[in-house]
Structure 1
Amino acid sequence: MNNKFDALKDDDSGDHDQNEENNTQKDGEKEKNDREKPQSSTKRKAVVPGPAEHPLQYNYTFWYSRRTPGRPTSSQSYEQNIKQIGTFASVEQFWRFYSHMVRPGDLTGHSDFHLFKEGIKPMWEDDANKNGGKWIIRLRKGLASRCWENLILAMLGEQFMVGEEICGAVVSVRFQEDIISIWNKTASDQATTARIRDTLRRVLNLPPNTIMEYKTHTDSIKYVWWELYHNLVSSCAAGSV
């Protein structure tokens, strides 16, 4: 899976490969033309609910990423690797995306789906995320698809009842286990994080003994930098022998 479309199921029309080949040159020309246009004319068209559709309280964007396991990722390489699938503003638009997406349980390798409010990148460093954190639940294999669907439907349906605190959710497919998490803006707000935890336990119907971990994004960033530093030192030491 090398791009965002690998996370989507094949369409019955079978036109994807032909269209992609025919449009490669056009896309290159369009990108060049877009760069030459005034900035005001290159703004992305706003996503709005269609006629008679049921609007969501917020617009959301699906993202997809995949990376080589065991290789530390800097924020720059992570941002380059993450691909935007699309943005939706209504219940109907959500289902049009979701019905064509591969379920987490059918993904292979080291893959992630992200669903975040429009304008928020699924990165610790994003302004909406930098002071926040996430609740993490590790799942045994076979549960990710059901838990992911229950989680994102609860998020879209505003079941967490914490105002604008929710930023988004992630499902991470790994070899031995799968991980789901929900991100919020303010890690220091213990009452809010507790409410998110309790709602998460309810919407996922988790057993009472389920381990739930809250991790601040600040701690996550520190860990990644330590891992990068450790690997750099190890590489230098190996090269000097």
Structure 2
Amino acid sequence: MDDVSAPLPIRPRQLIRDQVFATLAEEIIDGVRPPLEEIRDQDLQAEYGISRTPIREALNRLADLGLIEVSTNRFTRVAPVDLNAQAERVETAVAMIGYCAAKAVPTYTDEQVAAMEAHITGILATDLAWTTNREGLALWYALWAELVLSARNQTMVDILDGRLAMHLTRTVPDQPVADDLEVYMRASLEQLRALLHARDGQGTRALIEQLFLRSVIEPLRAEATAE
């Protein structure tokens, strides 16, 4: 009798190509497949027990996203992490989130403010020094996702969730932030709370831009320069 509790490499009830894409993307983002690791079709065929066609479809999608590099008849490999490109991606994300803040926050209902406040309270209840790790980032992403979704701009949601988030979670610090940055982040969250209650869209936008600049963009630029 088959062991139905045994873990499967890919989840059922999805298109096979989507299962392969999701699994490979997660392995790349988590570092299970490090930069420049070669990816061979035949190895994936053996691992998943499937044909070459859905594998190539998944790899083409990963290449379109920039998570892998393909050189015809030479190699298919995990793309290296370009820190300057990462900083530019963050700047793009900030521009989108800031736009949504300016548009949506002035129209917020009490319920929407309360929903944002719940995310802020959740972040403040954690050790802020470690909220730049993967678990902590999930809390920050939930906060910004709430804001972007409230602007009802599906195009921005698709870009942020479908493209930028995958890249940005590849560069996650493995150490706590400096004490002064932790203090700044805490103060910014409290200020954000006040701005939301005031329905100040432009103030929220300015705060978000400065918060991302200091906590993400400047560290990425500094690390890129140091390499």
TM-score with structure 2 setting the length: 0.26
| Structure number with higher helix proportion | 2
Relative contact order: is structure 1 or structure 2 higher (C-alpha 8 Å, sep ≥ 6)?
A: 2
TM-score (ref. length: structure 1): 0.25
Decide which structure has greater strand share.
Answer: 1
